Amino acid sequence: MRSVKYLVAAGAASLLSSTAFAADMPSIAAPPMYAAPIIEDFGGWYLRGDIGFSNQRVNRLNNALDANNTTSDQHLGFNTAGIFGFGVGYKFNNWLRFDVTGEYRGNSQFFGTDSITYPGGVGTDTYHATKSEWVALANAYVDLGTWWCMTPFIGAGVGAARVSIANFTDQGIANNGGGALPGLALGDNVSKWNLAWALHAGVAYNVSPNFTIELAYRYLNMGDGLTGDLHTFDGTNNIVNPTTFKSISSHDLMLGVRWNLDTPAMYPPPLVRKG
């Protein structure tokens, strides 16, 4: 009986000793739960490049001699030309960005006809020329949200356009009742700076945080173009009579790329402790 009592006392003492030792041990925290990294639409500085082609219009050709005409029915047009541009910009947040762009718009062939009625007769003029531009724009864009890496956007820009008209010819046939009288007038090459403005709409595809592809439409107004005074082959010119290309505009289709120059934030791996 005494042996049993000794065994019970020894067991109780051992249990109390183990409990006290466990209380002195430092607690071990459970490993934190893993949380997926937050995906951000990174802002900052970017470079851009653009290529495209134009679909251009001109409202009318005006000349100093037009005041002598009773009626004038013009049909005018340009061939498509290539567009090559480069720019730098800054993205402020998920919806607002700004850039400055410069572009060269390649030579476009101009052609037109003009049926004229004037006192004493009628006539027809056939026009030919080439046109090119340098354009600089400051642009602002609003990104409308991102779905499946696709971001539609709208924007507007303002700047300057250097419009160059070259190789202008005016082949005219006048009929004064005594037979047709052909004539050919030439205009010297002239470049003219104008106010330019643009409207943008398109969609961007976010390939990665650092690289984006854009497909965009742009309406661009470049102001007026101008020729030198018209003269004959031998240089004869008795009046000041340059021809003005009134209100040149273009509907452009553009393919662009953007490179983000800021390195995206790096997320540390989740902390895991072994028990």
d(CA 167, CA 129): 5
Domain annotation covers residue 134: yes
Domain annotation covers residue 2: no
| Domain count of the fold of the chain | 1
Q: What pLDDT was estimated at residue 127?
A: 94
The number of CA neighbours under 13 Å toward the Cβ of 256 is: 29
Domain annotation covers residue 265: no
Domain annotation covers residue 10: no
User: Any idea what the CATH number is for the domain that residue 207 is in?
Assistant: 2.40.160.20
Domain extent for 198: 43-260
Q: What pLDDT was estimated at residue 122?
A: 84
Domain annotation covers residue 38: no
Q: Which residues, 6+ apart, have CB-to-CB distance to 77 below 8 Å? A: 57, 110, 111, 112
- Block residue for tokens 């924007």: 155
Domain annotation covers residue 95: yes
Residues 61/246, Cβ–Cβ less than 8 Å = yes
Domain annotation covers residue 61: yes
Residue 167 backbone zone (phi > 0: left; psi -120 to 50: alpha; other: beta): left
The number of CA neighbours under 13 Å toward the Cβ of 8 is: 5
Domain annotation covers residue 8: no
Q: What pLDDT was estimated at residue 66?
A: 73
3-class SS string, the chain:
CHHHHHHHHHHHHHHHHHHHHHHHCCCCCCCCCCCCCCCCCCCEEEEEEEEEECCEEEEEEEEHHHHHCCEEEEEEEECCCEEEEEEEEEECCCCEEEEEEEEEEEEEEEEEEEEEEECCEEEEEEEEEEEEEEEEEEEEEEECCCECCEEEEEEEEEEEEEEEEEEEEEEEEEECCCCEEEEEEEECCEEEEEEEEEEEEEEEEEEECCEEEEEEEEEEECCCEEEEEEECCCCCCCCCCEEEEEEEEEEEEEEEEEEECCCCCCCCCCCCCCC
Residues 237/64, Cβ–Cβ less than 8 Å = no
The tens place of each residue's pLDDT in the chain, 275 residues long, gives 455 445 444 554 554 455 444 445 455 555 555 554 544 555 699 999 999 999 999 999 998 777 667 778 899 999 999 999 999 999 999 899 999 999 999 999 999 999 888 777 788 889 999 999 999 999 999 999 999 999 999 999 999 999 999 999 998 887 765 555 567 888 899 999 999 999 999 999 999 989 999 999 999 999 999 999 888 766 666 566 899 999 999 999 999 999 999 865 544 455 555 54
